[in-house]
Copies of this chain bind each other. A is one copy, B any other.
Amino acid sequence: MHHRSARPTIKEVASAAGVSTQTVSRVINERPDVSPETRKRVQDIIDELGYQPSALARSLIRQRSYTLGVVTSGLRFIGPSRTLGGITSTADELGYSLLLKEQPRFDANDVTPTFQKLLARHVDGIIWAVPEVGENRSWVDHLPLDLEVPVVYLTMHPSKTVSVVSIDNCKGARLAVAHLLEQGYRHIGHISGPLDWWEARERLAGWKDTLGEAGYKVRDTHWVEGNWGSASGAQAIRTLHDQYPEMDAVFVGNDQMALSVLQFACRTGLRVPEDLGIVGFDNIPEAAFFWPPLTTVNQDQYAVGKMAVEQIIRIIETAWQGEEPTKPETTLLAPALVIRQSSLLPRELGEKEVSLKGD
């Protein structure tokens, strides 16, 4: 049975209005060359029938779909979802639809089918919102298929050859460590994320560099690698506490692991922030309600999504106007430190520590 659609076609509108389909087309596209009477008559029929032009047919003929492909990964985590939120609202605002694909694994390397599927649906551009993990960016500079559409990559190292939007994780780490130093902490450890993640490496580098520049020696015993999960944080802080007994503060790679550090302190009777200053990363909504409230680095992932959409649409529109293609550009968004109790040393204690020098 050929399930006849209730949705009218342009042809039906045309015959109902007693004009050609072309005239209807002119009306729905708001072309000037239609007489006011005809326009009104057609518009009335359109309203009456609830006619809506087929975006599919339009895409086919215009060679333009006003659709963006979005490839994401890890929707079970809050970060990627926030970015996606920025993408959805901005795309909607600018009149684009979204075709969504989720990669089951962060480190999937066979990306060709994903691109193929998106291209088969004629997307005008692609936002690659999978974070850089391991070798999962090795293909960007020599894709087997030549992409006929622009791509913007999220959360990866700056690049000369492709467009990128990322948070400046290194900067965020620097803010965190500088703050701890300023508070008077002098033995600042670090629990990193998994080092195959670009973001984890950046945060580690920010910690290391800031300490180095402040004249402190950084030893391998001063940091431990976690895997973002709270459980790994629990393990990491135990190790770190053992191998770096002088440690008086710790910069933790994300808030989930920082939560475990708080719990560790609570269990072992360490006072936070007096005995141990703690700074996390991400500013998850719960962080303000940990005990004590957690100082952390806020990253605006919504903005990452927003900028990605704005940028890719700029590229698309430029190309469509036949102008010179815009050169790839990397946008690094600066994160901000959110200072709460977990790192706020009572002033006198801070001052005292300042007088004791050294590593």
Contacts and interface: CB of A to CB of B under 8 A. Distances in A.
A67 B101 CA distance: 12
Name, among A60, A80, A88, A148, the residue most crowded by chain B CB atoms within 10 Å (CB to CB).
Answer: A88
A200 B77 CA distance: 23
A318 to B, nearest CB: 12
Contact of A230 (B63, B82, B102, B286): B286
A97 interface: yes
Nearest to A72: B88
Copies in the complex: 2
B63 A60 contact: no
A92 interface: yes
Contact of A52 (B53, B92, B120): B120
Interface in A53-89: 53-57, 59-60, 63, 65, 67, 70, 72, 75-78, 80-82, 84-85, 88-89
B319 A3 contact: yes
B92 A234 contact: no
Nearest to A301: B76
A50 B285 CA distance: 47
Nearest to A118: B97
Contacts of A78: 76, 78, 81
Contact of A82 (B55, B75, B116): B75
A145 interface: yes
A285 B50 CA distance: 47
A163 interface: no
Nearest 4 CB-CB pairs, A to B?
A: A81-B81, A88-B102, A75-B85, A230-B289
13 contacts: A3-B148, A3-B320, A5-B63, A50-B145, A52-B116, A55-B117, A56-B121, A67-B99, A75-B81, A85-B102, A99-B100, A230-B286, A256-B285
